[in-house]
A = this chain, B = another copy of it.
């Protein structure tokens, strides 16, 4: 990678710039932002910052779209005629099937840019360039979601990018991605937000008594509403089915609780502890 273009210097884009600068100082980094103020702020983390897309992507062998999911398609349409023909184009969206379906054909039709979807599983409830740091991706997982027509060399280039900044790489199809991330990210977000709203609506005073349990259980509900609305809405079909299946499981648990047979409750809690300690607790 000789020249990297980052479109959107938020938490992820900004952290990517800082991470590449720290690990591959010879790589030239250009940043595009929509607003002049964001461009001015981005100057400290890159070699060139501009509101002009052509300036940002010219000469870049890797272009990363780090804008909110809802802004991806329009941005891709604008850069498709501008990127270098052989450039890897990737994104950081948390939903993949709709994004890949919208973006991949744009670059194919333009005959410029080789698109591969990716999703670095990093971030926090903090947002913006001010929260960015060079180690955000260190030790996290980057999911690559090559579609049937994806160029294997572009897939390898995307893997190399995320590996450079400290990610472990997994590949799966866009649809498999959206099922898996629906389960481990989107459904938990919906549930955490539901829990906050439920508890505070039932008894606003009750929150005064909460310990670290509720605080941790609902942490992700402090994420940006605009961003998460787009994410959840984009994965609506998958998430809706998962939510219905989860509600059905809660109904079973409700029946088990009401039955008075506490061995059912104990088995349920034991399974949860064993599974969490084995599969979720460890840092990946």
Chain A residues packing against B (C-beta within 8 Å): 121-124, 140-141, 143, 170, 179-181, 183-185, 187-200, 202-226, 228-229, 232-233, 236, 239-240, 242-247, 249-251, 253-254, 257-258, 260, 262, 265-266, 268-273, 275-277, 279-281, 284
Contact = CB atoms under 8 A, between A and B. Distances in A.
A68 to B, nearest CB: 13
Contacts of A250: 191, 194, 243, 246-247, 250
A268 B180 contact: no
Contact of A200 (B122, B204, B275): B275
A279 B246 CA distance: 27
Nearest to A262: B233
A254 B244 contact: yes
A131 to B, nearest CB: 14
B194 A141 contact: no
A265 B199 contact: no
In the complex, the count of this chain's copies comes to 2
11 contacts: A141-B208, A143-B209, A188-B195, A188-B213, A192-B272, A193-B272, A198-B245, A214-B280, A217-B218, A221-B269, A222-B273
A272 B221 contact: yes
Contacts of A194: 246, 249-250, 253, 272
A184 B199 contact: yes
A192 B276 CA distance: 10
Nearest to A192: B217
Contact of A184 (B188, B211, B216, B221): B211
A76 B221 CA distance: 42
Nearest to A243: B254
